[in-house]
Amino acid sequence: MTAQKVRPAMMTAPPLPLTQDIVLIGGGHAHALVLRRWGMNPLPGARLTLINPGPVAPYTGMLPGAVAGHYRREAMMIDLVRLARFAGARLVMDRACGIDRAARQVVLGSGRRLRYDVASLDIGIASDLPEVPGYAAHGVAAKPLGRYAARWEAFVAESGPAPHLVIIGAGVGGVELALASAHRLRAAGKTPQITLLDRGAQALPGVSAGARRSLLAALHSHGVTLLTGVSPAQVLAEAVLLQDGRRLPSDFTLSVAGARPQDWLAQTGLALTDGFVDVGPTLQSSDAAIFAVGDCAHLTHAPRPKAGVFAVRQAPVLLHNLRAAVSGGSGSDQAGAGGPLRGYHPQRDYLKLVSVGDKVAVADKFGLRGGGRWLWQVKDQIDAKFMAKFSTYPAMPRPAVPPVHAKGMAQALGDKPMCGGCGAKVGAGALRAALAGLPAPDRTDVLSGRGDDAARLVIGGRTQVITTDHLRAFTADPALMARLAAIHALGDVWAMGADPQAALAQITLPRLSEALQADMLAEVMQAASAVFRAAGADVVGGHSAVGDELALGFTVTGLMEGPARLKTGARPGDAILLTKPLGTGVVLAAEMARIAADCRGTDGLMLGEIWAACIDSMQRPLAAAAAILRPQAHAMTDVTGFGLAGHLWEMLEPAGLGAELSRAALPILPGAEGLAAQGVASTLAPSNRAGLGWQVEGEAGPRLDLLFDPQTCGGLLLCLPEAAAPAALAAMAAAGEFAVQIGQVVAAPARIILR
């Protein structure tokens, strides 16, 4: 008998467990570069987290060009949402306000705490003047850059023909922004009056004499008045009062006055110099588990001025040292893990290219100087090269189809990453087929089962509703995912007109070390409990498991007073109202695939900003809206996986009714229509469209496409008497709730028509 080799079945290796937490505090240049390099070669077992208040971070080198009008806003913004997705990092949009070093936790402004094994600070500096009366109310700080850029664009659009500007701080930054402001306002047909002032006796400290002469000449040619040896005493809405009693008219008061550290660093117990974190060659602070880079750090071994060039060159050293710090000596130094920590030694001087309003720059390095358009082109090329690192990322790898495989495998895999949230649901056709063979409830205490948002039970003479919902994670932030999953699960209870009572959690965690597992489970439960408590319910138990990825679900009960608000019950002539804008499926799909949004077609927003606006809408509970609208509603549901068209058809089909929807009235999330026009769609959208077939009519385009977009944490969809609609909309507005009338129920034809 001949022995035969038995080939083992091919299995996909499970994800490796996460065991160490690296937390990056701030989205500065060094951290952005670390994230990009991490995405190219992540360290197995390390969970990387980025904490930043917003979804985008500005690149300082292009700010003067943006102020001058040479660049569009998005050209100088790093999309941290796309970058975090590429790096496999979780992005927590919050502001750090402390570090509990004993517990190894970063304290956030929301009160949340994030554990770390190793942390790094790259939070930049501030240029505000908190000691000057009136500045907080009427002044603008050049840093943080994001708020300044937004305020400046609004000022250019809204200011009169001869605006007055006062810029405090006549260093290189102040001079550069004064010249950029003058150029932009003159290009807009205005005649600005700009005053640049400084406490020091001389402007442009630290600049060579030759470069100083060139820049002072540029100020003169642009009509900028320079005052030195003066200090602001008070900032008013329309003026700046100086210590010597002079009053300078000002419609826009900007501070570029030096570098101020963030106040909360003083409470960390770290060694500081003038408020900045002391670091040595390895970029470690006085606490070896905490690194610091960029402007918030003070290089004790080689003090240097605050400049972005140092942060950029610190990035490779920081990346290596973070990996080495959490690898415990595993791996090889060549692979970027293990081995000794590296040292950072900054250059003594660096090339300063100072733009002077028009596309002209002045150079200064080692006492050399020069100027001209060619230098601006050099600066433009340097800036463009840096930003190109964050515009295009390598394509996401798709699962490989084995050479020999069963029929249909390629089609089942699809051509895009599988969506999360409701975009990962089973299609309506498959769901209906699966449920068709189930027997109808024959118990007297079960009033209704499948077919509506929740089942209705009679218990002790009272009506209780029960529903369940489960989401595949679409964000790496477990607390955010828990909040959204809880709000989503509560939607069915609110749509039925019930008050939430209790919830059971179903949690699948990814593979983690015991410490990270306990931490993630606590984050999930605390975040979910806060949502349910606010809704009047309690989490009373549940079940947990470990799998390949995070997935969260909740079974929720509610108690009902009075009649239920069912999906059925719409009447001809009813107004159709919607309480949240559409587009979550498109936005979440774009973010998961790291789509580079065309800002000109997406309301001028970057993908990260579109995603952040989407998340804000999703996080709004439906409790207040349901309480206001359910007394008048003939029929009510919430819009989830089957999209607006699918859920509206569920309301209309049983009675043979139709609906006419207004294309113009449809509320759309910022940027979602532009993404849909780019061809972005959730993986569930084709199934939603196929399931309705001829029932939906309208001119082809993104707004029609968005009728089939699966929603996660979507709004209430209801039909109520036309005469009651104005009062209902007014009541919603008075309560600070969003609602819009999108159409009307019609007796015929029995279709949904988008006009």
pLDDT of residue 8: 44
Looking up tokens 């047909």 gives 189
Q: Which two tokens stand for residue 692?
A: 């309705």
- Whether 331 has a pLDDT exceeding 50, the answer reads no
Q: Which two tokens stand for residue 459?
A: 């218990």
- Whether 6 has a pLDDT exceeding 50, the answer reads no
- Whether 14 has a pLDDT exceeding 80, the answer reads no
**Other beta carbons within 10 Å of 542:** 15
Please state, for a pLDDT cut of 70, what percent of the chain lies above it: 90
pLDDT band at 602 (very low <50, low <70, confident <90, very high): confident
User: pTM, whole model, 2 decimals?
Assistant: 0.91
Q: Which two tokens stand for residue 350?
A: 């660096």
Cis peptide bond N-terminal to 749, omega within 30: yes
- Whether 400 has a pLDDT exceeding 90, the answer reads no
pLDDT digits (tens, 9 = 90+) for 187-237: 999 999 999 999 999 999 888 888 899 999 999 999 999 999 999 999 999
Sorted by sequence, the CB contacts under 8 Å of residue 462 that are 6+ apart come out as 559, 560
pLDDT of residue 225: 97
652 to 17, 362, 746: CA distances (angstroms): 48, 69, 9
pLDDT of residue 336: 45
**Other beta carbons within 10 Å of 468:** 15
pLDDT of residue 369: 56
Query: Of 56, 33, 194, 51, which is closest to residue 609 (Cα–Cα)?
Result: 56
Q: Do residues 55 and 81 touch, judged by C-beta distance below 8 A?
A: yes
Starting at the edge strand found earlier in the chain, the sheet holding 247-249 runs 232-235, 239-242, 247-249
Instruction: Identify which has the larger pLDDT, 623 or 127.
Output: 623
Query: Of 623, 633, 626, 622, which is closest to residue 714 (Cα–Cα)?
Result: 622
**Least confidently predicted of 58-67, 446-455, 739-748:** 446-455
Please calculate the CA angle 712-713-716 and round it to the nearest 5 degrees: 115
- Whether 280 has a pLDDT exceeding 90, the answer reads yes
pLDDT digits (tens, 9 = 90+) for 98-137: 999 999 999 999 999 999 999 999 999 988 888 999 999 9
- Whether 250 has a pLDDT exceeding 90, the answer reads yes
Domains, the chain: 20-125+261-344 (3.50.50.60), 126-258+351-391 (3.50.50.60), 453-560 (3.30.1330.10), 575-754 (3.90.650.10)
Q: Do residues 435 and 450 touch, judged by C-beta distance below 8 A?
A: yes
pLDDT of residue 258: 67
- Whether 645 has a pLDDT exceeding 80, the answer reads yes
pLDDT band at 9 (very low <50, low <70, confident <90, very high): very low
pLDDT of residue 412: 65
Residue 223 phi, psi (nearest 5): 75, 25
- Whether 680 has a pLDDT exceeding 90, the answer reads yes
- Whether 599 has a pLDDT exceeding 80, the answer reads no
Instruction: Identify which has the larger pLDDT, 271 or 444.
Output: 271
pLDDT band at 1 (very low <50, low <70, confident <90, very high): very low
pLDDT of residue 11: 46
pLDDT of residue 438: 66
pLDDT of residue 335: 42
**Mean per-residue pLDDT for 488-514?**
95
Sorted by sequence, the CB contacts under 8 Å of residue 329 that are 6+ apart come out as 338, 339
Q: Is 422 annotated as catalytic?
A: yes
- Whether 401 has a pLDDT exceeding 80, the answer reads no
Please state, for a pLDDT cut of 90, what percent of the chain lies above it: 75
Mean pLDDT of the chain: 90
* DSSP H or E segment with residue 298: strand 297-299
Q: What is the C-alpha to C-alpha distance for residues 530 and 538, in angstroms, rounded to an integer?
A: 9
Q: Do residues 736 and 579 touch, judged by C-beta distance below 8 A?
A: no
pLDDT digits (tens, 9 = 90+) for 446-456: 777 666 677 88
Classify burial at 393, counting beta carbons within 10 Å of its beta carbon; exposed 0-12, middle 13-18, buried 19 or more.
middle
Catalytic residue among 296, 422, 614, 713: 422
pLDDT of residue 128: 85
**Other beta carbons within 10 Å of 287:** 16
Q: What is the C-alpha to C-alpha distance for residues 678 and 494, in angstroms, rounded to an integer?
A: 35
**Least confidently predicted of 34-38, 333-337, 668-672:** 333-337
pLDDT of residue 417: 63
pLDDT digits (tens, 9 = 90+) for 715-727: 999 999 999 999 9
- Whether 10 has a pLDDT exceeding 60, the answer reads no
pLDDT of residue 654: 92
226 to 197, 220, 358, 532, 546: CA distances (angstroms): 6, 9, 19, 59, 65
Residue 234 is classified by DSSP as E
pLDDT of residue 436: 57
* DSSP H or E segment with residue 725: helix 725-734
- Whether 367 has a pLDDT exceeding 80, the answer reads no
pLDDT band at 5 (very low <50, low <70, confident <90, very high): very low
Helices (H), 69-119: 80-87
